Amino acid sequence: MVQSKAETVEEYLAELPEERRATVSAVRDVILANLPEGYDEGIQWGMITYSVPLEVSGKTYNGQPLAYVSLASQKNYLSLYLMGVYGEREQEFRVEFEATGRKLDMGKSCVRFKRADDLPLDLIGREVARHSVADYVAKVQAARS
């Protein structure tokens, strides 16, 4: 599955093969346990996304809720998009990740993995918890101005 047509998280999970569903569910549990209050869980761009509601963020450049974290099953791997890491925190995150002894496969904000064990879930939890909705909106607005 590259991009799901699911309209709910439950539909998205039901589409996944059992092994992938277990992995996505394990990472999702970490996200939900650490996600600050005010973010919405839903489906955006064919993946599970945790975003700032438009009524909180205000108008966005694409008219979509402001994505904070996304989780997706791609053809050859799983992806975890950590938008709070993008920019000034990226290098520090890379160092912290690699210090766990795990191999990091990362784009700008996308961590690619195959199993939940490939991720230092405590670090992922800390990253998810790092920005309140207000802090994240302020960070995005500052970057765009």
Q: Running DSSP on this structure, what letter comes out for residue 130?
A: T
Contacts of 4 (CB under 8 A, 6+ apart): 11, 12, 15, 43, 46, 47, 73
- Whole-angstrom distance, CA of residue 114 vs CA of residue 79: 9
Would you state the pLDDT for residue 137? 95
Q: Which CATH number applies to 9-144? A: 3.90.1150.200
For the entire predicted model, the pTM comes to 0.93
Task: Compute the distance between CA of residue 97 and CA of residue 62 in angstroms, rounded to an integer.
Answer: 31
> For residues 90 and 55, what is the distance between their CA atoms, to the nearest angstrom?
28
pLDDT at 2: 57
Domain map (residue ranges) of the chain:
9-144
Query: Each residue's pLDDT tens digit in the chain (145 positions)?
Result: 457 889 999 999 999 999 999 999 999 999 999 999 999 999 999 999 999 999 999 888 898 999 999 999 999 999 999 999 987 789 999 999 999 999 999 988 899 999 999 999 999 999 999 999 999 999 998 888 8
Strands (E), the chain: 40-44, 47-52, 66-73, 78-82, 110-113
